[in-house]
Chains A and B, each alone.
Chain A
Amino acid sequence: MAAQDAAIKASSDTLFSGSSRGSRRNMGQFIRWALLFGGGILMIMPIVFMLSTSLKFPFEVYNLNLIPEEPTIENYTYVLADGRFFGWFWNSLIIATLTTVSAVFFDALVGYALCKFKFPGRYLIFIAILSTLMIPTEMLVIPWYLMSKSFGWLDTYWGIMFPGIMTAFGTFLMKQFFETVPDDFLEAARIDGLNEFQIWWQVAMPLVRPALAALAIFVFLGNWTAFIWPLIVTNSVDMYTLPVGLSSFGDEVDVAWELIMTGAAISTLPTLVVFLVFQRFIIRGVVMAGLKG
């Protein structure tokens, strides 16, 4: 009898401790989900607020309600009917696209050279490039402006673009990715008769496509949303980029937040397209099936 009792007690202890472990696991999962949910809300709130404000009349802008009392698309018709908006949109599109193409091309080229060619001083050059990451943009705009002024680049596409045609971050990123490309591929191509540029373009570049896609997204978004430098280097309204143009909605006494939010909502579309196009390459990942691994 005593043995039976002991057995029952032991099994109930086991059951209890089992359920305790289970509830601890559930609690942990709950906390994780709650944190993620909270993070998600924080991320999406500005976008929801932007869309909400873009659907409000001016009198309701300073109400923080998410659902407008009297929703309207008047702001969209106004912004789209304003000829300046498309000009700014076009400026931003041209600048962000050209800068992205240029930065991806040159960053990959320099990153490859620093990674795959052995020449004296390459570490020094790499460190010099990296060290430029530590200088804030605010410090650079003055020399950039002086340079633009003396070369006559003020109020031109080139003036807006030139600081971003090559990036230290991109060079670093690409160098690190090229480290993962085995030299055997490059040597095989060398024997197959390709010159060094062809090896880079035809063999090495396709192998780092995910990195190129990631860099393209970063650079495009960075240039699409750039504000300080385009604001400084442009004088005429026609040369404004979208963020600079949007900030000019309103007058000295009032800021037309509903129009700014409407413009911002429209301006997110290209970034969404760029992300969706390049995300494919990132997700696909590097396929190193040509090598025995």
Chain B
Amino acid sequence: MATLSLRNLVKTYGKVEVLHGIGLDVADGEFVVLVGPSGCGKSTTLRMIAGLEEVSGGEIHIGDRLVNDLEPKDRDIAMVFQNYAIYPHMSVRRNIGFGLRTARMPKADKEKRIEEVAAILGMTDLLERRPNQLSGGQRQRVAIGRAMVRNPAVFLFDEPLSNLDAQLRTQMRLEIKKLHQRVGNTIIFVTHDQVEAMTMADRIVIMKDGHIQQVGTPLEVYHKPANIFVAQFIGAPSMNMLPGIWSKGGVTLADGARIALPHRKATEGAEVVLGLRPDDLLVTQDKGLFSGTVNIVEPLGADTLVHVAVNGHEVIAKASGREPPKTGATVALTADAGEMHLFDAGNGEALP
């Protein structure tokens, strides 16, 4: 186990800079998820940590060692790939034990270690099988086993669940989380799925266009997003955004509706964006903050998601699962002022 530190990490391909000075400190045994849309630089960051991409600038420290110029094998890391990358011509036993080939330990100890890892992953009965005799989930477990067997300082996971079906993905998510609780190694996990990030991470790093947008616990990034991008990326469905003008301790929306936010601060007359999570925006029978026409109704069982047109913007609100409003109806929407988010319309940053 070890800490991991990225200092002003830069990656360029020719003249194109794709990572612009990433800085991140990961504590020993921490589970950190890098999340962001395609092309945000999360996989490049991971591959630089692994030593599969050269570092164009900055430093990578694993433990107290600067590893910029070390070969992947000398960095004390293990990586699980999106496509598993388990060797098709080898049995599960050889695949798992492959990382121990160069380890200086007696053969009996190597075998014992393989058996231990197989037992943890529930694969003892499958050790003599070939990859083509395994299901997708089992292959993914072999890939994890191959990483585990060396007991590396840092585990790197590159979107390992994206090829699995929804049910298996949920199951493997839990298994990886349990595994982390059991072995306690430092884990860097890359995904584009914010649900994976929220459910697994100790801390989430949200990236966009080669920049870190926010680092925080899942609850921090959900409840206190640093900017509009994070607010919309984290949480499903996405946060509703309504443009308005800040005046006299509140936001005046385009249709003239006024929403008071007494504990917030912004420059008088500034253009702002009011953020409301669908979970916090409720359809009400009383007089709401504003009203609109129901476009689409999505019953989820316990709740219903209601798409409502408000001043040319469509917002998603939550209604009762038992008595949802009908399409075309006019409904009032309300929210608690404490759950509202305020952003600067110019730079997208959250306002205090």
Docked-complex contact B84 and A192, CB < 8 angstroms: no
Point out the residues of chain A lying under 8 angstroms from B88, CB to CB: 207, 287-291
Tell whether A287 pairs with B132 under 8 Å between CB atoms, given A192-B98, A193-B102: yes
Nearest CB of chain B from residue A184's CB, rounded to whole Å: 4
**Complex Cα–Cα for A62 and B322 (A):** 99
* A192-B85 contact given A289-B132, A292-B139, A292-B163, CB 8 Å threshold: no
Selected from B51, B99, B139, the residue in CB contact (under 8 A) with A192 is: B99
A203-B85 Cα distance, complex, nearest whole Å = 11
Say whether B87 contacts A203, CB under 8 Å. Answer: yes
Closest CB-CB distance, A4 to chain B, in whole Å? 56
List residues of chain B with CB within 8 A of the CB of A187: 50, 52, 72, 79, 81, 85
Contact: A188 with B73, CB < 8 Å? no
Given contact pairs A187-B52, A191-B77, A192-B73, A290 touches B136 in the complex (Cβ within 8 A): no
Q: How far is the CA of A162 from the CA of B136 in the complex (A)?
A: 48
Contact status A192-B89, CB under 8 Å: no
Which of chain A's residues has its CB closest to B47's CB? A187
Q: How many A-B residue pairs have CB under 8 A?
A: 83
- The chain A residue sitting closest to B81, CB to CB, is A184
What residue in chain B is nearest A185 (Cβ atoms)? B85
- Cβ contacts under 8 Å, A189 to chain B: 98
Assess whether A22 is interfacial by the CB under 8 Å rule. Answer: no
Let me know if B86 and A192 touch, CB within 8 A: no
A25 on the interface (CB 8 Å rule)? no
Known: A191-B50, A191-B77, A192-B146. A289 touches B83 (CB 8 A): no
Expressed in whole angstroms, the Cα–Cα distance for A263 and B46 within the complex equals: 64
Residues of B within 8 A of A290 (CB): 84-88, 95, 131, 139
Q: Could you tell me the distance in whole angstroms from the C-beta of A89 to the nearest C-beta in chain B?
A: 35
Query: In this complex, what residue of A is CB-closest to B78?
Result: A191
Q: Across the interface, do B131 and A190 meet the contact criterion of CB distance under 8 Å?
A: no
A-side interface residues, number (CB < 8 Å): 20
Cβ of A182 within 8 Å of any chain B Cβ, yes or no, is yes
Chain B contacts for A291, CB-based, 8 A: 83-85, 88
B130 within 8 A of A: yes
Nearest CB in chain B: distance from A288 CB, A: 6
Is A193 in contact with B139, judged by CB distance below 8 angstroms? no
Q: State whether B136 touches A292 (Cβ < 8 A).
A: yes
Q: Counting CB contacts under 8 A, is B101 at the interface?
A: yes
A71: Cβ under 8 A from any B Cβ: no
Q: A255-293 interface mask toward B, CB cutoff 8 Å, 1 = contact, 0 = none?
A: 000000000000000000000000000000001111110
Note all chain A residues with C-beta closer than 8 A to B85: 182, 184-185, 187-188, 290-291
In this complex, the interface size class of chain B, counting residues with CB under 8 Å from chain A, is 20 to 34
A28 lies within 8 A of chain B by Cβ: no
- Judge whether B83 and A182 touch: CB under 8 Å: yes
What residues of chain A lie closer than 8 Å to B73, measured between beta carbons?
A: 190-194
**Whole-angstrom distance between the alpha carbons of A64 and B89 in the complex?**
52
Q: Which residue of A lies closest to B89 (CB)?
A: A206
Residues of B within 8 A of A206 (CB): 87, 89
Complex Cα gap A185–B81 (Å):
9
Knowing A184-B81, A188-B79, say if A193 contacts B101 (CB, 8 Å): yes
> In angstroms, how far is the closest chain B Cβ from the Cβ of A261?
43
- How far in angstroms is the closest Cβ of chain B from A265? 38
The smallest beta-carbon distance between A44 and chain B, in angstroms, is 37
B72–A190 contact, CB under 8 A? yes
Instruction: Looking at the assembled complex, report how far the CB atom of B347 sits from the nearest CB atom of chain A, in whole angstroms.
Output: 38
Question: Which chain A residues lie closer than 8 Å to B103 at the CB level?
Answer: 193
Q: Are B101 and A188 in contact (CB under 8 A)?
A: no
B82 CB contacts on chain A under 8 angstroms: 184, 292
Within the assembled complex, what's the spacing in Å between the Cα atoms of A222 and B198?
62
Which chain B residues lie closer than 8 Å to A203 at the CB level?
87
CB under 8 Å from chain B, chain A span 168-206: 182, 184-185, 187-194, 203, 206
**Chain B nearest CB, measured from A94 CB (Å):** 30
B90-133 contacts to A (CB < 8 Å): 95, 98-99, 101-103, 130-132
List, sorted by A's number, 8 A–B pairs whose CB atoms are closer than 8 Å: A189-B98, A191-B79, A192-B73, A193-B73, A288-B88, A289-B88, A290-B84, A290-B95
| B positions within 8 Å CB-CB of A | 50-52, 71-73, 77-79, 81-89, 95, 98-99, 101-103, 130-132, 134, 136, 139, 146, 163
User: Which 6 A-B pairs have CB atoms at the shortest separation, nearest pair first?
Assistant: A289-B132, A290-B88, A184-B85, A193-B73, A193-B102, A292-B163
Apart from A187-B79, A192-B98, A194-B73, what are 17 other A-B pairs with CB-CB below 8 Å? Answer: A184-B83, A184-B85, A185-B87, A187-B52, A188-B79, A188-B85, A188-B146, A192-B101, A193-B102, A287-B132, A289-B130, A289-B131, A289-B139, A290-B86, A291-B85, A292-B82, A292-B136
